[in-house]
């Protein structure tokens, strides 16, 4: 389990997802307000639920190493959920009149990238197992 590269990618995806709950993604002012507010992973309930679900899904996928098909599907579900989460952040950011992105906004792009790399590693493992079965 630990010697497989996708374990590292899945761990990093889960860590980045859970870190994005605490760190701000965007800070800006609403149209009728002059105070700057930060958008974090707790700004709305759907964003919080999706963020936690993505983190838990990544850590759960680590322990599904005996079932590569399920692990691959969990990676694909994680990618889809992350795209939905980015869309929710986008709609929330559009409510703001002015503002700037934080450097930690890159965490969501990293989650997508890490899930993609994990899926690629799982696919490579599956191919190696199929080739070794064919040689027997």
For residue 47, what are its two tokens? 């964003």
Residue 41, classed as helix, strand or coil, is coil
Say if residues 133 and 125 touch (Cβ distance below 8 Å): no
Place of tokens 């929330």: 92
pLDDT tens for 20-61 read 999 999 988 888 877 888 888 888 999 999 999 999 999 999
**In this prediction, what percent of the chain has a pLDDT beyond 70?**
96
- The CATH class of 5-135 is mainly alpha
Q: Give the predicted TM-score (pTM) of the model.
A: 0.89
Cα torsion angle, 24, 37, 26, 57, sign: positive
Average pLDDT over residues 112-136: 87
Does residue 71 have a pLDDT over 60? yes
Q: What are the residues whose beta carbons fall under 8 Å from the beta carbon of 54, sequence distance 6 or more? A: 13, 14, 17, 78, 81, 82, 85, 111
Rounded CA-CA distance 92/35 in Å is 16
Residue 131, class by beta-carbon neighbours within 10 Å (0-12 exposed, 13-18 middle, 19+ buried)?
exposed
Q: Could you tell me how far CA 38 lies from the centroid of its own chain?
A: 20
Mean pLDDT over the full length of the chain: 90
How open is the CA angle 40-41-42, to the nearest 5 degrees?
90
């Amino acid at each position: 389990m630990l010697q497989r590269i996708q374990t590292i990618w899945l761990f990093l995806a889960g860590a980045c997802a859970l870190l994005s709950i605490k760190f701000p993604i965007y800070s800006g002012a609403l149209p009728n307000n002059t105070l700057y507010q930060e958008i974090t992973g707790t700004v709305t309930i759907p964003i919080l639920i999706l963020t936690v679900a993505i983190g838990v899904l990544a850590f759960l996928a680590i322990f599904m190493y005996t079932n590569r098909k399920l692990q691959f599907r969990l990676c694909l579900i994680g990618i889809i959920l992350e795209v939905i989460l980015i869309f929710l952040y986008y709609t929330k950011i559009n409510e703001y009149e002015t503002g700037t992105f934080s450097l930690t906004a890159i965490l969501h792009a990293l989650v997508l990238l890490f899930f993609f790399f994990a899926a690629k590693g799982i696919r490579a493992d599956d191919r190696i197992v199929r080739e070794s079965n064919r040689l027997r």
